[in-house]
Amino acid sequence: MLVDIHNHILPGLDDGPKSIEEAILLATNAVDNGITHIIATPHHNNGKYINSSSIVKEAVNNLNKELSKKDIPVEIFSGQEVYFYNSIVEDLENDLLTLANSGKYLLIELPRNHFPVSTFETLYKILLRGYTPIIVHPERNTVLRKDKQKVYDLVNKGSLVQITASTLLGEHGRNLKKYTIDLIKHNLAHFISSDAHHHVKRPFLLNDAYQYVQKKFTENQVTYFSENAKHVILGTEFQPMLPISFQKNT
């Protein structure tokens, strides 16, 4: 069982595949990566796309039907990549989708160019309700990029962090690659996922990323990432490795 928890595989909903044919090609690419379970996470509330839970669920059903017709051995589950906004907490019970609809993990994207002052407070409220926020690709937020200690603070206060396979593999430059490696070294990365959008331009790359982790770190580290992703699909809790601060005295 290999799970990808962040990708844009559903056709026509966002900047992912434009057609069902493109979605099938992307699913085939996932299978080539050994992936068996895909949590589809279309953009939601990011200023460009709104994908309510009913829209996502219908698209997931349609794609699963097409995949089983074509005997492509991968199953799609519903989710959203929720762009951060202050009233996330109020929408948790009705409008927002947890990953794999398990009622536990919520995928959250922070703005690119700033770190909202309400971030910690909002995440705290989400945690109080019994949900676990997963912050996606911190390396794309300019504030977190400059200040890794802020990532430590987020994790220390109960959020989890997902890094992107292509970034770890160096596709977005050496600096960002090093950034994601540093997060792994400080136990501040809990998941690697594809953020796949297109079978050629932004494919899954999960297999390559796991192989890289095995070479650069250990087999145990690969197991940690893949087991954590399994917990997300099951909606079960796990014990994250203790985060290591970037400040020497803490």
Per CB under 5 A, residues contacting Fe ion are: 81, 195
Residues β-bridged to residue 105 = 132
130/144 Cα distance (integer angstroms): 25
Pick 151 or 152: Cβ nearer Fe ion: 151
Beta bridge partners, 38, equal: 4, 76
97 or 243: CB nearest Fe ion: 97
Residue 207 backbone zone (phi > 0: left; psi -120 to 50: alpha; other: beta):
alpha
- Closer CB to Fe ion, residue 81 or residue 139? 81
Instruction: Write down the least CB distance from residue 195 to Fe ion, Å.
Output: 4
Shortest reach from residue 216's CB to Fe ion, in Å = 24
For the bound state, the minimum distance from the C-beta of residue 245 to Fe ion, rounded and expressed in Å, comes to 28
- Least distance between Fe ion and beta carbon 138 (Å): 13
Comparing CB distances to Fe ion, the nearer of 11 and 243 is: 11
187 φ/ψ angles, rounded to the nearest 5 degrees: 55, 35
Q: Are 84 and 47 contacting, i.e. CB atoms less than 8 angstroms apart? A: no
CA distance 24 to 57: 17
In angstroms, give the least distance from the CB of 184 to Fe ion: 20
CA gap 17, 5 in Å, rounded:
17
Of 44 and 186, the one with the shorter C-beta distance to Fe ion is 44
Nearest residue to Fe ion, scored by beta-carbon proximity:
195
What whole-number distance in Å separates Cα of residue 203 and Cα of residue 196?
Answer: 5
